């Protein structure tokens, strides 16, 4: 096996006979990876276009199938039973080892026990053809006992929810039953609080100013989509299906949380996750922004940790820096030669 690395920080592990097109001595040349030279140039796309898709919501049940969370879909289930009878429901419940009589009684009465574990509900949908057309995710929620901590099964990818994903990837972590979000900037904190209120999930501020958001459903979803700890962070898998506007909102929130502006004007973000660094470099290509990946050693000054190697995503070219700043924002226009340290005045587009 060979590991090929470019000066801009991209790496790939390949077999010796893997083919590459390279620019060598002024000519496009097809080579085997074992024939690569330090002087070769590899072609990269100038821009990665979107798929002409504008994803506005996602079904979150597949991401939560391995959890102990429950789906609450009383109205669709009762509509299905009324229209088709109980045979389909009974068969699916029996297959899952659930008493169909007790479950249907709880659903009808709206009492404790009316929820179905995610995996059992997915089996019910599969066995009944989506409740014979009566199932709509907008009528259902998923979570635990506390109604206010649940999430809609059809999760809207609104501006505030996309920002929440970005803030979590930047400075969040998931624990059992809750997530922690850390940020000290008043503008970003206001946006975090506004987004959480719009989502309707309770939160409180810890003594150290971190936000604790107590929702097992949200913690499980963010863990599945974005990783649980710094080393496993990544952009949510649906990011290529977002419109450029929506992807810009996601990226802006991430850089609001983790981005810095260096003394030379370069924009950078440092992460413990190689996968996240790669995701960011590809996502920035949507806007024609070329980021370099660098390896850096960091250690926290307030701990005894020896430090570790991190990936740093760097935007430094003048054209790329201008593409980061929103040309329609007067604040960015005034500072076009020196990007602002306040990321609230930046926007990807």
pLDDT of residue 220: 96
pLDDT of residue 54: 86
Identify whether the C-beta of residue 117 lies closer than 8 Å to the C-beta of residue 68.
yes
User: What CA–CA distance (Å, rounded) separates 39 from 63?
Assistant: 44
pLDDT of residue 301: 56
Question: What's the token pair of residue 122?
Answer: 């997915």
pLDDT of residue 327: 38
- Its pTM stands at 0.86
Identify whether the C-beta of residue 274 lies closer than 8 Å to the C-beta of residue 84.
no
Fold of 156-345: Endonuclease I-creI (3.10.28)
Q: How many other C-beta atoms can be found within 10 angstroms of the C-beta atom of residue 130?
A: 13
Q: Give the residue-averaged pLDDT of 302-321.
A: 80
Calculate the average pLDDT of the chain.
Answer: 87
Identify whether the C-beta of residue 143 lies closer than 8 Å to the C-beta of residue 215.
yes
Q: Give the residue-averaged pLDDT of 18-33.
A: 93
Chain segment 100-139, per-residue pLDDT in tens: 999 999 999 999 999 999 999 999 999 999 999 999 888 8
Which has more pLDDT, 32 or 327? 32
Question: What's the token pair of residue 281?
Answer: 């470099």
pLDDT of residue 261: 84
CA dihedral (294, 297, 300, 305) positive or negative = positive
% of the chain surpassing 70 pLDDT: 90
For residue 323, pLDDT over 80 is answered with no
pLDDT of residue 275: 93
Chain segment 193-218, per-residue pLDDT in tens: 999 999 999 999 999 999 999 999 99
């Amino acid at each position: 096996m060979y590991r090929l690395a470019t000066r801009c920080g991209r790496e790939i592990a390949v077999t010796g006979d893997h083919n590459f097109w390279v620019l060598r001595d002024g000519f496009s040349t097809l080579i085997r990876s074992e024939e690569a030279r330090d002087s070769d140039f590899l072609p990269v796309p100038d821009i990665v276009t979107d798929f002409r898709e504008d994803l506005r919501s996602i079904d979150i049940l597949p991401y939560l199938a391995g959890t102990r969370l429950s789906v609450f879909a009383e109205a669709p289930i009762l509509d299905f039973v009324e229209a088709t009878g109980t045979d389909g429901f009974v068969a699916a419940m029996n297959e899952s080892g659930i008493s169909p009589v007790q479950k249907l009684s709880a659903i009808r009465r709206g009492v404790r026990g009316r929820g179905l574990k995610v995996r059992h509900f997915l089996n019910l949908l599969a066995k009944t053809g989506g409740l014979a057309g009566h199932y709509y995710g907008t009528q259902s929620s998923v979570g635990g006992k506390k109604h206010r901590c649940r999430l809609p099964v059809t999760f809207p990818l609104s501006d505030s929810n996309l920002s929440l994903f970005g803030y979590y990837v930047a400075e969040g972590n998931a624990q059992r039953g809750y997530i922690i979000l850390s940020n000290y900037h008043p503008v970003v904190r206001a946006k975090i609080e506004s987004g959480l209120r719009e989502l309707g999930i309770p939160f409180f501020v810890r003594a150290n100013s971190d936000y604790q958001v107590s929702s097992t459903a949200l913690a499980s979803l963010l863990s599945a989509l974005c990783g649980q700890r710094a080393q496993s962070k990544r952009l949510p898998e649906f990011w290529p299906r977002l419109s450029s506007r929506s992807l810009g909102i996601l990226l802006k929130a991430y850089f609001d949380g983790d981005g810095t502006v260096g003394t030379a004007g370069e924009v950078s973000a440092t992460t413990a996750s190689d996968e996240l660094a790669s995701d960011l470099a590809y996502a920035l290509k949507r806007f024609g922004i070329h980021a370099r990946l660098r390896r850096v050693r960091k250690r926290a000054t307030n701990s005894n940790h020896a430090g570790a190697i991190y990936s740093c995503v760097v935007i430094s070219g003048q054209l790329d820096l201008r593409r980061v700043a929103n040309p329609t924002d007067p604040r960015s226009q005034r500072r076009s030669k020196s990007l602002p340290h306040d990321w609230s005045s930046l926007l990807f587009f």
